[in-house]
Amino acid sequence: MTVSKMLRGKVALVTGAGRGVGAEIAKMMALRGAKVIVNDLGGTSEGEGKDQTPALKTVRAIRDAGGEAEANFSSVADFDAAQDMVDQAIESFGRIDIVINNAGILRDCIFHKMTQADWDLVIDVHLKGSFNTSRAAAPYFRQQEAGVFVHMTSTSGLIGNFGQANYMAAKLGIVGLSKSLALDMSRFGVRSNCISPFAWSRMIGTIPINDGLQKKRVEKLKQMTPDKVAAVAVALCGDGAVDVTGQIFAVRNNEIFLMGQHRPLRGLHDSMGWSPESVIERAFPAMMSNFYPLDRSQDIFSWDPV
């Protein structure tokens, strides 16, 4: 199959691109003509340590395939470092067109045992990191009246999961950030979307296996390779997606879903006004059939990936 050069002339910053989904996005972008800044701190899945090897490995793979890439080893959680990433793209390749906010860590813990560090580190990398890189690129996108943001959210935030209050809050916050960028910058031809990826990665590999059911679930996850997510991310960055902005997509093996966004489900009116007692007696019972249960991602996506 002939690979199009749909991103020829574009310059992309991909964070967390040393491994997994980020690496596949960076390589697929380069294969389609983009020049790429490959950012990866090289820390553990818990956000500890540094290692330049992952980013350099992705850069080498891109160059070996005939593409152009430069490595960046900074943390997205650092506002000034994020600005340096965008500046590096401009100094190396002359412009910046695309920001893929993929970097992330996990600090899973049941809520009543979660520490301040567990909370702060996850929020800093996922949510603040996405703000930092987006904010650094936004003035350039505005000036050139074009640009694309793609942010990684999660069904943990969109639906729910146990022991991930920090991660869920960050990932749902990213949805709000993306929608705000889409609204604020549409007048400048800039678009912003989210992807909720189902893919086997280093972070997903930290899922504890406590029973046969969980082991079976993990084996299914291993079938969902990062390149399936990368295909949608790259598509969102192409000129063919010029009318796609403010959306949330989930990618699950060969399935692509457009995810819902918050809208009213049901309303009640009382011309006399509501009291706490009447809310309990009338409003809650009337709405109860529309209440959401305490679902987790695996409850909603209950079928095998196809």
Query: Quick count: other Cβ atoms within 10 Å of Cβ 193?
Result: 24
Is residue 37 a contact partner of residue 99, using CB atoms and an 8 Å limit?
Answer: no
Phi, then psi, of 138 in degrees rounded to 5: -55, -45
The residue written with tokens 């979660």 in the block is 114
Q: Which residues sit opposite 255 in a β-bridge? A: 252
* The one catalytic residue among 167, 198, 200, 249: 167
HSE-CB for 260 with a 13 A CA cutoff: 6
Count of CB atoms within 10 A of residue 180's CB?
14
DSSP E strand stretches across the chain: 11-14, 35-39, 68-72, 98-101, 147-152, 190-198, 248-252, 255-258
Quick one: how far is CA 98 from the chain centroid?
Answer: 14
- Please say if 140 is a catalytic residue: no
Q: Which residues are the active-site residues?
A: 167
